[in-house]
Chains A and B, each alone.
Chain A
């Protein structure tokens, strides 16, 4: 434990400090966006958008390296494809006469499969695992700024639109009757989820993004009484999970993202067991 703190406080070693600072601001994003995702029961939509990010990264790699379209970087690809996926997913969930979960699952698989095909056709060695699990210990100063700015945007949106967010989440028909354009609102929130996912995938990877968008909020739901409490509590759970996960990965020399995911999932199962016994 002492050694972990010595590394954290060592001015010559920045990676752990960057990771903890990134974890703090990421936790704000995961806490608030995760509470929105969990209370609206759209984890599978978020999962689908997350996996299309791999499609966008693959497309970006292919176009920038094989077709020499230099501006179409993997991040531009991820951003464009995830926003496109948000539009499609939103359209499917409101208009489609087909089974919604089947179409969402197909988009999920298509995004991932397409991404791997583009990566396979791009020369040079790229490990898709790095996109799935990311590496919070490898983040840059620019990544920190990106997370900081996004966390401020997320907090601002939840502060200004708080009443609409809970009204649409709790009773969408009533919100429509009060004059709120719920379709546009749902689309904008899905786009915000997409932007959050793209930003966070760069830092923690697709799997950790899905885990942190759902598990901390699901844990918080067990003992909070309103959306605001739930979001703040989910942010705290997320940050504690990041720090404990980082510490465990440090002392066991295991991959950080996988350790964080496993830790937060175990905590969730424990809470599930404790609360189900109470019932």
Chain B
């Protein structure tokens, strides 16, 4: 069974006359590492939101674990690209990470087991000593790490990341991809990233968005010339294995 399946998907925003996607077809299989690339405004984040059922296709079907995304999206760990939050909202790093333990059937107070998972995840992200700091006091990179901790604390079975290394330094970037590499042994991962450098040796499939549809490529076919042509700007593409 595919983790995600797009069948003849068309999509346009209600306030727009033009279609963003025309007849998109692709699937993500178990333990597959898929990268979504494409120039700006081609709908990369929209594609992820369709996967999660946060947006509905105009026609066609999207399934997540073989069902409607709304039914199964709690199994997904999703990190959005832009996280607009109220900086005055009083939330500590611990409070934000604990949100990952919330489920439809577990809405009451958190149990010891939830705290255990959260403390382990915070330790993994080097955040345990700072758990009581206010989320709004953190830098962009630190916030990204907290959101990643929240995502991992939910013990997902499939990961969707929208530009996970935005705002993080090289050290944390390396750590994030080390974690992703380990997780990829257990689950499928879909990632939107402008920089294919560090994912290149992990990615098995590339979903390339242009001409209002999705073109599926293997990583071997993604050359810097191809990307240059696609994005009209040069992309660094260095294989890590040589």
Report A's interface with B, CB cutoff 8 A.
Answer: 39, 41, 97, 160-164, 166-167, 169-171, 173-180, 221, 224-227, 229-230
Q: How many residues of B contact A (CB 8 A)?
A: 31
- Nearest chain A CB to B72's CB is how many angstroms away? 10
Given A161-B107, A163-B98, 14 other A-B contacts at CB below 8 A? A39-B88, A39-B90, A163-B107, A163-B109, A171-B99, A173-B80, A177-B73, A177-B74, A177-B78, A178-B74, A178-B103, A180-B107, A225-B132, A227-B90
**Nearest residue, chain A, Cβ from B71:** A179
**Nearest residue, chain B, Cβ from A180:** B104
Q: With the chains together, A229 CA to B107 CA distance in Å?
A: 20
Task: List 16 A–B pairs whose Cβ atoms lie within 8 Å, in order of A's numbering.
Answer: A39-B90, A163-B102, A166-B99, A167-B102, A170-B91, A170-B95, A170-B96, A175-B99, A176-B54, A177-B54, A177-B73, A178-B102, A178-B103, A180-B104, A225-B92, A227-B91
Known: A162-B109, A178-B74, A226-B92. Contact between A167 and B99, CB under 8 A?
yes
Neighbouring A residues of B92 by C-beta, 8 Å: 225-226
Q: With the chains together, A174 CA to B85 CA distance in Å?
A: 12
Q: With the chains together, A226 CA to B96 CA distance in Å?
A: 11
Q: With the chains together, A39 CA to B85 CA distance in Å?
A: 11
Known: A163-B108, A163-B110, A166-B95. Contact between A180 and B102, CB under 8 A?
yes
- Nearest chain B CB to A101's CB is how many angstroms away? 17
Any A CB within 8 A of the CB of B76: yes
Neighbouring B residues of A169 by C-beta, 8 Å: 89
Report B's interface with A, CB cutoff 8 A.
Answer: 15, 52, 54, 73-74, 76, 78, 80, 83, 85-86, 88-92, 95-96, 98-99, 102-104, 107-110, 132, 134, 150, 154
Closest 9 CB pairs of A and B: A179-B104, A179-B74, A178-B102, A167-B99, A226-B90, A164-B107, A170-B89, A177-B73, A167-B102
Q: With the chains together, A48 CA to B76 CA distance in Å?
A: 38
State whether B102 touches A221 (Cβ < 8 A).
no
State whether A171 touches B83 (Cβ < 8 A).
yes
Known: A171-B83, A176-B54, A179-B103. Contact between A160 and B108, CB under 8 A?
yes
Neighbouring A residues of B104 by C-beta, 8 Å: 178-180
Residue in A41, A97, A175, A224 whose CB lies within 8 Å of B102 = A175
Neighbouring B residues of A180 by C-beta, 8 Å: 102, 104, 107
Neighbouring B residues of A39 by C-beta, 8 Å: 86, 88-90
Q: With the chains together, A170 CA to B86 CA distance in Å?
A: 7
Q: With the chains together, A182 CA to B213 CA distance in Å?
A: 32
State whether A221 touches B90 (Cβ < 8 A).
yes
Q: With the chains together, A176 CA to B92 CA distance in Å?
A: 21
State whether A178 touches B154 (Cβ < 8 A).
yes
- Nearest chain A CB to B47's CB is how many angstroms away? 16
State whether A224 touches B90 (Cβ < 8 A).
yes
Q: Chain B CB within 10 Å — which of A163, A175, A177, A229 has the most?
A: A177
Q: With the chains together, A180 CA to B70 CA distance in Å?
A: 10
Q: With the chains together, A97 CA to B14 CA distance in Å?
A: 10
- Nearest chain B CB to A96's CB is how many angstroms away? 12
Neighbouring A residues of B99 by C-beta, 8 Å: 163, 166-167, 170-171, 174-175, 178
Neighbouring A residues of B73 by C-beta, 8 Å: 177, 179
Q: Chain A CB within 10 Å — which of B90, B91, B132 has the most?
A: B90
Neighbouring A residues of B95 by C-beta, 8 Å: 166, 170, 226
Neighbouring A residues of B74 by C-beta, 8 Å: 177-179
Neighbouring B residues of A178 by C-beta, 8 Å: 74, 99, 102-104, 154
Q: With the chains together, A229 CA to B90 CA distance in Å?
A: 9
**Nearest residue, chain B, Cβ from A181:** B104
Q: With the chains together, A176 CA to B76 CA distance in Å?
A: 12
- Nearest chain B CB to A185's CB is how many angstroms away? 10
- Nearest chain B CB to A251's CB is how many angstroms away? 36
**Nearest residue, chain A, Cβ from B110:** A163
Neighbouring A residues of B15 by C-beta, 8 Å: 97
State whether A166 touches B91 (Cβ < 8 A).
yes
- Nearest chain A CB to B158's CB is how many angstroms away? 12
State whether A225 touches B89 (Cβ < 8 A).
no
Q: With the chains together, A173 CA to B79 CA distance in Å?
A: 11
Neighbouring B residues of A226 by C-beta, 8 Å: 90-92, 95
- Nearest chain A CB to B3's CB is how many angstroms away? 16
Q: With the chains together, A163 CA to B73 CA distance in Å?
A: 19
Q: With the chains together, A173 CA to B82 CA distance in Å?
A: 12
- Nearest chain A CB to B147's CB is how many angstroms away? 9
State whether B102 touches A164 (Cβ < 8 A).
yes
Neighbouring A residues of B54 by C-beta, 8 Å: 173, 176-177
**Nearest residue, chain A, Cβ from B79:** A174
Neighbouring A residues of B109 by C-beta, 8 Å: 162-163
- Nearest chain A CB to B107's CB is how many angstroms away? 5
